[in-house]
Structure 1
Amino acid sequence: MKKGKVFLVGAGPGDEGLMTIKGLKAIQQADVILYDRLINPRLLEYAPSHCELIYCGKFPQQHLLKQELINDFLIQKAMDGCSVVRLKGGDPGVFGRVGEEAEALVTNEIPFEIVPGVSSGIAAPLYAGIPVTHREYGVSFAVVTAHDKSKEGKPNIDWAGLVASVDTIAFYMGVSNISFIAENLILHGKPEETPVILIQWGTYGRQQTVQGTLRNIAKKVKETGIKNPAITLVGDIVSVRDKLKWFEKKPLYGRQILLARTGTAKSLVAEMLKDQGADVIEFPKWAKKEVQINETILNQLFMYERILFTSPESINEFFDLLISRKIDIRNLHATIYCLSKKSLKVLMERGLSGHLADDMNHCGGLLIIGNRKMDENRGYYLDRYGKHDIFQTSETILDEAFVPVVKNMLMEASLDTIVFPSSSSVDAFIENGSPYGIVAEEILKNLTIVCMGSSSEKRIREFGFEPDSIPAEPCPSKLLEVLILNKMREKVI
C-alpha cells in the first residue's frame, strides 16, 4: 500500500477567519485529523464526512494523549495510506512541538509538509489593540515560553539578556508563573511600572484581559481568576491599547451564545453573530444521511396543486434531484409554500416564488417535502394540513463524529444566551442533550432565552420556560437588535 502524507498545520489563534488557505485545503482533503484543545472546533466542519477526528488536546494538569502516542498515530495512519492532518493552535513552530513530530516522520520515511499558522503571541495582542512593535514604544520583540518541561515548570531563561536587549516580550501560557516572571524581570532591570497585560482566549468572543504593571500584575491575576490559555505581554507598548483597541468594541463582544440548530447547511445567523463579536456554539451538530427516493411521487409531481417545503436544505436537495434526473421544472404546477422566511429566500435563489405555510389554502393535493423526521412527524402534519403525501429528500441525523468536539466546546464555554430560530429547534435542543452529557432543561434555567418567532415562543412555553426576548420580526437583523439591547441592559444593571 502506498504511504499517505502528513500535514503539520497551524490553525491560528482561535478566530477561524485567521486560518490560512493552505491549511484549510489540507483539512478539506483529510482522511484523519488529530486536533488540539486550542484549535477552533469550527474548523473541523470543513473536513470531509468520512474524516476520522481524533482529539489529543491537553487541559491544565491533564494530558489526554502523550506526545509519543501522537507520533505513533501520525505514523500509523500515514502507513495506512491516509492523508493526515495534525492540527495545532497558533503556529506549529512556536512552542508547538512540531520539530518532535517531524523528526518521528523522517525516521519512519513518512512524507510531510509543515503549514505555518498565525501565532497567538502576535494575534492575541492585536485583538487587544496592541501591535507587538511600534517605532515609539518597541522596536524589538521576543516570544518566550513561560512554562518549561522541568518538574517545577519554571522557565530557565537568560533574564538579564532578555531585559537588556528586548523591548516587548510575549510569554506563552504564563498564568501560573506570573509572580516568578514579574519578579525575575524586575530583579534583572525592568522597572516595576512596566505595563503588563494578560490576554485569555485571544481572538475569541470570550477574550478577557487583565492589565497592570510588573509590580501588581500577579495580584490582579489572582483577584480576577484568569487562567490559561493566555498570552502575557510585557513592555511599554501595552500603553497604546486604550487608543487602539477595536475588537472589544464590537456590539456582541463577550456574548457566548448557543444557537439551536436543525439543519446541516451553514448558518448565516451564526456568521452574523460571530462577526459582531460573539462566540457561537451551534447545537446539536447534524449530518446528512441518504434515503431511498420515492420514484412514484417523483414521476407524478404534476398532480400536486400544493407543495410545502419544511426546511431550506430540502429545497436545495429537491431541485438538485430534479436536475440530476433531468426532470423539467415546468412539470410543477403547484403553488409552493415554506415553513420559514429563510426557506422562502432559498426558494427565490432558485428563481421561484412561494408563500408562508400560514397563508396556505386547503384546496387540492398536497405534497410535503422535507429532510428530517418525516415519518415521526406524520401525525403533526396530518393534524395541521390534512391529507397529504410525503417526499423525503434525505435524513438529518446527529453527527456522532462531532459529539466529543461539541462536548469540549461546551466544557470551555460560559454560555449566557440561547437562540431558538424555530419550534423544531426547541425540540432538537431538548431531545439531544444526552449524547453530549447535558440536561437541556437545566441549562435553560441559567440562560437568556431568545425566540426568533411565535412558533418557537409557543414551543418553549410548552416546556415550561418563558422567553426573555422575541425580535419584532423573525430575521437576523432584528435578532441582532434584541441581543445588543439585552447586553446594554445588563451594563446598566
Structure 2
Amino acid sequence: MSDERIVGKVFLVGAGPGDSGLVTRRGAYLIEQADVIIYDRLVGSDILDLAADSTELINVGKTPGKSSISQSNINNLLIDEAKKGKTVVRLKGGDPFVFGRGAEEAAALSEQGIHFEVVSGVTSAIAGPGSAGIPVTDRGKASYFTVVTASESPGKTDSDINWDAIAKGNETVIVLMGSKNIDEISKVLIEGGRDPSTPAAIVESATMANQREIFGMLANIGELAALSRISAPCVLVIGEVVESAKKLQVRTNFPLIGKKILVTRSRDQASKLSLALRDLGATVVELPTIAIGPIDDYTDLDAAIGNLSDYEWVIFSSVNAVNAFYSRLIQKGLDSRHFAEVKIGAIGPATCHALGLKGIAPDFIPPRAVSDSLISNFPHPRSDVQKILLPSPKVAPETIKLGLGKLGWSVHRVEAYRTVIPKESVKKAELILNEGLDMVTFTSSSTVTNLDAMIESGIPPDVYIACIGPVTAKTACDKGMKPDIIAEEHTINGLVSAITFFYSS
C-alpha cells in the first residue's frame, strides 16, 4: 500500500474592497466550499456568512498598534491545514497580490509542495476612489496612476518608495494604508514639487454603508482628515481626477446609502431581499432566524397525501409549504399528477413560482399576497362537507383556517414542516444588535417570533422595524414591538419599495 499522504489545496482569495457583492463568483464559490477559512481583519462578517456552518474560521488579522500573529506563523498555519487534506481559503481584503503579502504566502506554499491557486479580487486602490465617483484615469486629466502603501512613514530615510519621483509626476496618486500619515505624505509631496492646490480626497470604508469622503487640496487634506477623525481602512487619492466626483455624484443614486439593515429570513431565502437592498446602497446583515426542519411524525401528512382526492382544494401559503409537501410526495413515489383531481390555491408570487417549477399553475391566486385577501376573495363551498387541505408549519397563525371556516369550508390544517431557530444565529443575535443597526426586516410571523426568542434585551428603540404585511406586523405588536413600516404590497419587492419610500420621505 502507498503511504502517500493526501494533501489539500490552498486558495489565496481576494475578498474585494468590503462590499460582499464585490466578491468574485469564483471567490464566493470557494468560500462556500472551504473546510477552513483563514481571514484578515478587514474581511466583513457578511462575506464570512457565505461559508458553510461546518467551516472553521480562523482570524489572523493584524490590528494597528496591537500584537498579532506573525506572517511566518500564518504561512505555517496554511501549510499545516493543507497537509491535513483540507480545502483552505486564505481570505484577504482587496486583491491578494496588491500589498497583501500574497506572494510571500504563495512562495511558502510552493517550497513545501502545497498546491495553491490565486483568485484575484477587486482592489480598493481602484474600487475605493470609484465608489466616490473618482476615476483613477480620465482623458485630459490623467493617463496613468501610481499606487503606493504608506504603512511606514514617508519621512523614513531608507524608505522603499521614491516620494520625490512621485511628487514630480502629474499622474493620479493612490495611497493605501496611510490613515496615520496623511499629513506627512502631503508635506513630502509638496516639498518634492507637487502643487499644494492639487485636488485630494480620502475615502474611508469604501463601498460600505458607513463610507465617508473628505475632499480638499493637497495642502489641507491632512488637517481635514484629522478634524474628521479619519481612520483605517481608507484610500487617499491625489490628482485632478478628484474633481470628477463633484460632477458624477454617484452616491446620490443609492437611496439606502449609509443604512445598515438586518434580514431575518432563512439562509436559502435571504438572497433576493438582501440583493435588492444592497443594490440600493444598504449594508445588509443576514441573521437567519428560521431553519426548515422535518416533522417528528408524518402520519397525518401521509394520510392527507394518500387521500388527496377527498379534498376540493389544496392551498399553499408559502414556498416552504410547497417544498415540504413535494418533498414528502416524492418520497412516496408520487409527482404533480397526484393533484389531478384537486384545485390549487397559492398566496404570493414566490409561492406561485415555486409551484410553477413543479409544473403546477394555481387555480386561485388572491389579488394581494396576504391571508385576508385570500379569505375575502375565495369562493364559497357548494356544501358544508367540502374540504380544504392547508399544509402548514407546526406553529402558524390561524387566520386562513378560521377565515375559510367562516365561509363554510371544512379546513384541514396538516403539519408539513417545522420552523426551528438556527443554533449559530442565537450566538450572533445580541452581538449584531449591539453593533448598531438602522432597521430590522421581518418577512413572516416566524421570523418575528424567533428573533424575539433569541434576544433578551429586545430591539433597541432607535432601530426601525419593517414588516412584509399586516399578519407579520400583528405578531410583532403581540411581542411588544412597534412596526414603522408595513408594506402595502406583501411581497419582497413591496417591502423593498416601502423601505425605500420610508427613507426617501
Answer whether TM exceeds 0.5 for this pair.
yes
Match of 1:440 in 2: 458
Task: Using the TM superposition, name which of 204-213 and 87-96 deviates more.
Answer: 204-213
1 CA distance for matches of 2:338 and 2:245? 63
Distance 1:72 1:391, change over 3 A: farther
1:205 and 1:255 in contact (8 A); partners too: yes
2 CA distance for matches of 1:197 and 1:3? 47
2:441 and 2:467 in contact (8 A); partners too: yes
2:289 and 2:425 in contact (8 A); partners too: no
Choose which of 126, 140, 157 in structure 1 pairs with 2:130.
Answer: 126
Match of 2:468 in 1: 452
Q: Which amino acid aligns with 2:319?
A: P
2 CA distance for matches of 1:462 and 1:212? 52
1 CA distance for matches of 2:61 and 2:8? 23
- Counting only pairs closer than 5 Å after superposition, residues 300-339 of structure 1 correspond to structure 2 as 300-304=304-308, 305=311, 307=314, 309=316, 311-323=318-330, 325-332=332-339, 333=341, 336=344
2 CA distance for matches of 1:157 and 1:431? 55
Deviations 1:312-365 (CA, angstroms, capped at 9, x unpaired): 234224324434543033334555556766434433444231555444589656
Shift of 1:277: 1.6
Q: Which amino acid aligns with 1:167?
A: E
Q: Which amino acid aligns with 2:445?
A: S
Match of 1:423 in 2: 445
Match of 1:179 in 2: 183
1:338 and 1:357 in contact (8 A); partners too: no
Distance 1:469 1:133, change over 3 A: same
Task: Using the TM superposition, name which of 380-389 and 72-81 deviates more.
Answer: 380-389
Deviations 1:392-449 (CA, angstroms, capped at 9, x unpaired): 4465441528956x888767x6522222223322222222236xxxx333x2x01222
- Counting only pairs closer than 5 Å after superposition, residues 25-104 of structure 1 correspond to structure 2 as 25-62=29-66, 65-104=69-108
Deviations 1:115-152 (CA, angstroms, capped at 9, x unpaired): 111111011111211111123112231111121399x9
Q: Which amino acid aligns with 2:501?
A: L
Distance 1:328 1:93, change over 3 A: closer
1:261 and 1:285 in contact (8 A); partners too: yes
Distance 1:440 1:178, change over 3 A: farther
Partner of 1:135, secondary structure, is: coil
Q: Which amino acid aligns with 1:421?
A: T
1:472 and 1:478 in contact (8 A); partners too: yes
Q: Which amino acid aligns with 1:440?
A: G
Distance 1:155 1:475, change over 3 A: farther
Partner of 2:231, secondary structure, is: coil
Distance 1:6 1:181, change over 3 A: same
Choose which of 347, 351, 354 in structure 2 pairs with 1:346.
Answer: 354
1 CA distance for matches of 2:503 and 2:240? 33
Partner of 2:486, secondary structure, is: coil
Shift of 1:7: 0.5
Match of 1:207 in 2: 211
2:18 and 2:93 in contact (8 A); partners too: yes
Deviations 1:191-230 (CA, angstroms, capped at 9, x unpaired): 2211111112212343221111122222222332332111
Confirm or deny that 1:369 pairs with 2:369.
no
TM-score when normalising by structure 2: 0.81
Distance 1:123 1:215, change over 3 A: same
Distance 1:56 1:381, change over 3 A: farther
Q: Extract unaligned runs of 5+ from structure 1.
A: none
Corresponding pairs, count: 476
Partner of 1:264, secondary structure, is: helix
